[in-house]
Structure 1
Amino acid sequence: MNKRLLSLLITILILSNSIISFGENLGLSGESYVLIDEISGRILIEKNPHQKMAMASTTKIMTALVAIENCNLDEKVVIEKDSTNIEGSSIYLEEGEILSLKDLLYGLILRSGNDSAVAIAKHVGKTEKKFIDLMNNKAKEIGALNTNFTNPHGLSEKGHYSTAYDLALITREALKYKAFREIFMTKSYDANRVKNNYFINKNKTLWEYEGGDGGKTGYTMEAGRCLVSSAKRNEMRLIAVSLNAYDWFNDNYKLLDYGFENFKPYIIYDKNQFMGNINIEDGEDYVNLVVENELIYPLTAEESSKIKLFFPLDEDIYPPIRKGDKIGVVETYLDGVLIKKENLIANNYVRKTNLIDKLMKSIRNLDNN
């Protein structure tokens, strides 16, 4: 079968409440920043988002992600001597102390414990070096290609760097996990310890920003003030990252305000939404086409009328066709720019016709004429 195109071009015309005009100059202090939508990953506003920079304790988002992916949070961790007395922020671990990995993760994110980071790395990776390899492998896997870790805590070190965009990607990946989301949004936590058991989150976003539901602070002399913040309003979660920003919290609040005031999430199509049907050569029936996954995308009021869908089909589509077989793709364009490709799949079984089927079909066609 020759390549076929559904003769269908859908322009999505979406009504939207009016929103404030774009504010290009937000007066931010950060050397680098980015704001992304969690669901789609779309960048909503940016400055030097791919500039490699020291990122201090925002490193610990990846530390937590790797730990959650590789271990059970109820596992017990025996604290070794070289996990104690680590420079900088600390939860004051003591040699021989036994904590759950869960307690260490709360100490890592809420109190930014560098000792907690080392203890987690040694437990999960068996050695700190192997754990750092896991961190770097995970970064490459999710597309954080301008990132390199040399430690699990973020203390300044040659070759330890990331970017605002990569940190947003890492945070977006981590937020897929319920355990991470719960830790990220916790204001205070009582660990199962005799002393130094009460952790209060250093991330003021949770208290100060409407919808604020997560974040991680970071500071070193080299990195300056670094902050990752997340917030959710009206079913849209945004992730703001500022690096080397002396007005770090206000910067992220302005970024989040910009996103919530100018964008809203639109359902371009739902999972398994019917997109049309086509006749299959040598097939007994039409194949119904549905889209494999949903597309929810943040748009401004102006952009909402500039979404177009195209449906290029695969070549050589022959029966039998089984439900779930890929038939083509949906290409979604915003103002002429491709933003998403999603699979079109068959929603029914189409068997191949035999000689008798063809004869009966010919007879029916003659009768109809």
Structure 2
Amino acid sequence: MKLINKCLTAVIIFSVTVSQVIPVFAKEKTTVSSAPYINAYYAAAIDGLSHRVLYDKNANYITPMASTTKIVTALVALNYGNIDEKVTISHRAANIHGSQVGYKENESVTIRELIYGLMLRSGNDAAIALAESRGGTVEEFLNVMNEYAVEIGLTNTHFESPHGLDSDNHYTTAYDLALAASKAKENEEFSQIVEVKEIPRQQFCFSRDYRNINKILWLLPEASGIKTGYTGKAGKCLVTSVKTPGKDMIITLINSPTRWKETCKIYKYVNENYEYKNFHPANSEVKNYKYKRKSYVLKTSEEIILPIKNGSNVTERLVLPQKLAPKMNKNFGLLQFYENNELIYCSPLKCERIK
């Protein structure tokens, strides 16, 4: 629904639109298996590019999130400043309860190492140290986290800590968590960190070696991260990214006693029921456009690879503004994709002048 609303908003901005419908793809496979039972209170699987929901179990219900919080903690920390800067571990960081890397008070550690400790070892001490170093105080860092959550479209999420220990106003949904993970995977540094199984201290002159506690990296060969979590209220949680022909598929499980097994079941279900189709390369020509005797070409602004359900027909719809002058190298028009007449994705087009 969030994706469709964004597309409709874009169309409304144009006021009046012209569209052309092009049949582009009919799936040959016709077998669709029923969704498996998943032993979790909340679960979601989404496509990383389109954010299309591929599996949903109570995906929009509010719930605690445990250490999966650290996905956004890491992303905010990566977005601000030099990650090779050294910081000093505070008394507060060294004495936080819950899972720890084991940093000592007054120990000097780089931001990079703290992020590895955060994501591979789920260190609450790393979370506090990052918050203090990047925000000045933990409280100021949380303000940034919550502002960033709104910015990336997490409409049902609120942070009260950078680590995720249970508290009354610290919550998310399985869908929001998947969306946050999808955004995080767009960050190259984040992606490299979360898919590491183990890293020796010598590689970046760290203070210690790190081995990832995320078992899914060993159980599912296609997995490329991301984060485990556990608290009394959230139960066992797992956010997984799985490599696909497009961007990663993201699978989230919250309060799942058998999270490793359930993640593999969801991945198998999506693989059996969806096929990734490459519709357009990046920068490919879609349509020539004339305005006041001047000629333009409309091109895709991204590579468009979408998961299509077995037995589905897909059409493209080109939506263009009327009586508006194209602006060079600016978004102009939309390319919409419908599966069995349901809007599943839209992508902005860019405009170039034909000489």
Aligned 8 A contact 2:246 2:306 in 1? no
CA distance in 1 between counterparts of 2:71 and 2:327 reads 42
2:312 matches 1:315: no
Higher alpha-carbon deviation: 253-262 or 288-297: 288-297
Distance in 2, Cα, partners of 1:250 & 1:143 = 29
Q: Do the aligned partners of residues 278 and 53 (structure 1) sit closer, same or farther apart at CA in structure 2, a change above 3 Å counting? A: closer
Q: 1:168 corresponds to which letter in structure 2?
A: A
SS of equivalent residue, structure 2 residue 321: coil
Distance 1:322 1:230 in 2: 37
- The equivalent residue for 1:289 is 298
Deviates more, 1:119-128 or 1:234-243: 234-243
- Name the CA distance, whole Å, in 1 between partners of 2:192 and 2:117: 13
Aligned counterpart for 1:13 among listed residues 2, 25, 47: 25
Aligned counterparts, 1:131-280, within 5 A: 131-191=141-201, 197-235=208-246, 237-280=248-291
Report the Cα distance in structure 1 between the residues aligned to 2:255 and 2:92, rounded to whole angstroms.
30
Moved more, 52-61 or 224-233: 224-233
Q: CA RMSD for the aligned pairs?
A: 2.5
Indicate if the aligned counterparts of 1:147 and 1:162 stay in contact, CA closer than 8 A: yes
Rounded Cα–Cα distance in structure 2 between residues aligned with 1:217 and 1:56: 9
Alignment partners' CA distance in 1, 2:263 and 2:301: 35
Unaligned runs of 5+ in 1: 351-369
Does residue 337 in structure 1 map to residue 337 in structure 2? no
Q: Would the alpha carbon gap of residues 47 and 197 (structure 1) be closer, same or farther in structure 2, given more than 3 Å must change?
A: same
Structure 1 CA distance for aligned equivalents of residues 165 and 331 of structure 2: 48
Instruction: Give the gaps of 5 or more residues in structure 2.
Output: 1-14
Using the TM superposition, give the Cα deviation of residue 19 of structure 1 relative to its aligned residue in structure 2, in angstroms: 7.5
Alpha-carbon shift at residue 15 of structure 1 (Å): 5.4
Distance 2:30 2:215 in 1: 28
> What is the CA deviation profile of residues 101-137 of structure 1, one whole-angstrom value per residue up to 9, with x for unaligned ones?
1111111111111111101110010100011111111
For the 8 Å contact 1:106–1:189, the answer to whether it is kept is no
Matched, 1:54 2:72: no
Shift in Å at residue 340 of structure 1?
3.0
* 2:88 counterpart residue number: 78
Q: Does 1:348 align with 2:353?
A: yes
The TM-score, its normalising length taken from structure 1, stands at: 0.85
Farther off after superposition, 213-222 or 331-340? 331-340
Q: Quick one: structure 1 residues 316 and 88, their matched pair in 2 at CA, closer, same or farther if it must change by over 3 Å?
A: same
Q: CA deviation at 1:72?
A: 1.6
Q: Is the 8 A contact 1:229 1:239 kept in 2?
A: yes
Identity, % of aligned positions: 32
Instruction: Please report how far the alpha carbon of residue 325 of structure 1 lies from its aligned counterpart in structure 2 after TM superposition.
Output: 5.5
Which residue does 1:364 correspond to in 2?
none
Secondary structure at the counterpart of residue 119 of structure 1: helix
- Matched to 1:297, the amino acid is L
Q: Residue 41 of structure 1: which of 24, 27, 51 is its match?
A: 51
Output one character per residue of 1:273-321: Cα deviation in whole Å (capped at 9) or x when no partner.
Answer: 22233454x41x5443333333221112312xx2222223322246xx6
Paired with 1:225 and 1:182, the residues of 2 have a C-alpha distance of 24
Q: Deviations over 1:193-219 (max 9, x none)?
A: 999823221110111112111021111
- Where relative contact order (Cα < 8 A, 6+ residues apart) is larger, the structure is 2
SS of structure 2 residue aligned to 1:255: helix
Which of 299, 314, 338 pairs up with 2:308?
299
Give the whole-Å Cα distance in 2 for the aligned partners of 1:52 and 1:4: 38
Q: Which amino acid aligns with 2:335?
A: V
Tell me which amino acid in the other structure corresponds to 2:300: V
Give yes or no for contact 1:19–1:261 (8 Å, CA) kept in 2. Answer: no
Alignment correspondent of 1:129: 139
C-alpha distance in structure 2 between counterparts of 1:80 and 1:275, whole Å: 56
Normalising by structure 2, we get a TM-score of 0.88
Query: 1:347 Cα shift?
Result: 3.2
| Greater strand content | 2
CA distance in 2, matches of 1:109, 1:211: 19
> Which residue of structure 2 aligns with residue 328 of structure 1?
333
Distance 1:183 1:44 in 2: 26
Q: Quick one: structure 1 residues 279 and 72, their matched pair in 2 at CA, closer, same or farther if it must change by over 3 Å?
A: closer
SS for the counterpart of 2:49 is coil
State which drifts further: 334-343 or 128-137: 334-343
Distance in 2 separating the partners of 1:114 and 1:4: 51
Larger displacement relative to structure 2 (228-237 or 208-217): 228-237
Q: Distance in 1 between matches of 2:72 and 2:96?
A: 19
Task: Name the SS for the 2:160 alignment partner.
Answer: coil
Gap change, CA 1:273 and 1:161, over 3 Å in 2: same
Q: 1: CA distance between counterparts of 2:205 and 2:338?
A: 58
* 1:361 alignment counterpart: none
